[in-house]
Amino acid sequence: MKFKCTTASLVGRLARFIVKLGRGMGRSFPGYLFLRIGGFDCLRELSKRSKIGNILITGTNGKTTTTKMLCLLLKKDSSVSCNFDSNTVNAVATGLLGGKADFGIFEYGIRTAKYSMPDTVCKYVDPIGVIYTTISREHTMVAGEKNPFREYFKAKRLLSAPMKKGFIICNADDPRTAFIGMEKEKDVQVAYYGLEVGLEDETPLSAPVHCPICEEKLEYSKRYLNHRGIYRCKCGFSRPEPHVKLTRLSKKDKKWEIEISSETYNYTSQKRISSKFKLEVPNFGIHNLYNFLCASTAYITFTPHPENIKETIIKTAQELEKFTLPPGRFEIFKLGDKTVGIGQGDNGDALKANLQVHPSDEMTLIYTTPDKGEDEIFQDHLRVIKSAKPMKIHVFPGRESTSAARNYYKTIKEYFDASFHPISNKEMDKKIDEILGIIDESSTESVMVSGCGPEHLFWNKLKSKFKSTFI
């Protein structure tokens, strides 16, 4: 076993050096080679290189941003091995191959228990922390198989199911991640984070939200962003009290002025920590405030230097002005007097978050559709689109099926002035050129390009071509 693991590690580190952790396979291929040679038993040994421990970050939206933010925070007072953008067990192994560090911090995407093996990954990586951002419907078809939401949700739960030590960090405002935390309180400590501010999302939910215990419809006394808010069910299930709260939120000179208050336990010092401080962050959407609050909660929970909490979080907040958005994420550009927003919105929650930061008055929407069999995602998108009331919609196939896109277009046409552009991803450059032409010729004050697509690739190419053409 020792010889096999040593060989696997040498080959993996050599591959890591060769690819230099570039985009795409650079974040996963060295780990793939390591696991092919050594298997999961060697992954268990590799995971022990993290002196304090490993942290896995999952959710439907916000995984990459939260991972990057947490790495920024912990790097201020610890050695850290990070990997993001490629959210597989191969990518986790690649990150661990980087050498010994205090922490290993890894994004981990989960679609199904069958393909992602979340409980297996947890057993062998043996994390001291599993972090949940938010959970909503996404990828209702995986590898040609129907992936019901209950199975998707179950797979997310499995990532922390084997844990008997450490912390689970959950979004108290999201009933699904809060339920995961409540399930595990008997085994490990749980830190909840959430908002307690005078904010209200008055637009309709992008999808129905039911109690994870009895499946009755949840009642909300306040919604901060889509299904995140203060909720309860007749069966007794309700939003837990957050340990780390965003208690103040106001805009000033294109920035958010916020206040964070925390009363929670620090894993490394084994002491209860209280803190309260004010800071400024860029005026990004509420979804990114959640991501920052999530990363801050994880930092407060795991930092080996709790005396630095206030100073480190304030300093990191200042650095967010130059924070690089993850590939494919929503960005807003100015084109003369026109506002152009471009980025993926693979589910109703993400599309709604994009619309929250993009001006929707007199808007042209360029919508890229879900795939065949993803009718639930389309219905979630349609609810959001109806609330935005765009003046014109241009429909493009977002994933594989052009015929499915045509059917979605027929439904959209019943409600809006719409046109269909049947250009598949096999002709991606042609599709991008046509989208750029629509943006250029649009007479509305704002244009938004969002929906489904080949993750990262399409959005990266589209934004790069847009910048080189117009900016």
290-345 per-position pLDDT tens digit: 999 999 999 999 999 999 999 999 999 999 988 877 767 899 999 999 999 999 99
Integer-rounded Cα radius of gyration of the chain = 22
pTM for this predicted structure: 0.93
State the Cα–Cα distance between residues 63 and 94, nearest whole angstrom. 18
pLDDT tens profile 190-242: 999 999 999 999 889 998 899 999 999 999 999 999 999 999 999 999 999 99
Count CB atoms within 10 A of the CB of residue 100. 12
Q: Are strands 50-58 and 101-107 parallel, antiparallel or unpaired?
A: parallel
Beta-bridge mates of residue 450: 367
pLDDT for 455 beyond 90: no
State the Cα–Cα distance between residues 94 and 106, nearest whole angstrom. 10
pLDDT tens profile 102-120: 999 999 999 898 889 999 9
Task: Return the exposure string of 210-237: e unless at least 16 CB atoms fall within 10 Å of the residue's CB, then b.
Answer: ebbeeeeebebebbbbbbbbbbebeeeb
Q: Are strands 189-195 and 244-252 parallel, antiparallel or unpaired?
A: parallel
pLDDT tens profile 140-183: 777 777 889 999 999 999 999 999 999 999 999 999 999 999 99
Distances in whole angstroms, Cα of residue 456 to Cα of each of 6, 109, 452: 34, 14, 10
What tokens were used for 265? 């336990």
pLDDT for 261 beyond 60: yes
Count CB atoms within 10 A of the CB of residue 4. 14
State the Cα–Cα distance between residues 119 and 190, nearest whole angstrom. 18
Beta-bridge mates of residue 264: 273
pLDDT tens profile 375-423: 999 999 999 999 999 999 999 999 999 999 999 999 999 999 999 999 9
pLDDT higher for 263 or 6?
263
Q: In what order do the strands lie in the sheet with 363-368?
A: 331-335, 338-342, 446-451, 363-368, 392-396, 418-420
Long-range interactions of 75-82: CB distance < 8 A, separation 24+: 76/308, 76/312, 76/315, 76/316, 77/303, 77/304, 77/305, 77/308, 77/312, 78/52, 78/102, 78/103, 78/303, 78/304, 78/305, 79/103, 80/104, 80/105, 81/50, 81/105, 82/106
Backbone phi and psi for residue 357, each to the nearest 5 degrees, phi listed first? -100, -5
pLDDT tens profile 267-304: 999 999 999 999 999 988 899 999 999 999 999 999 99
Position 327 scores a pLDDT of: 67
Position 20 scores a pLDDT of: 64
Beta-bridge mates of residue 145: 142
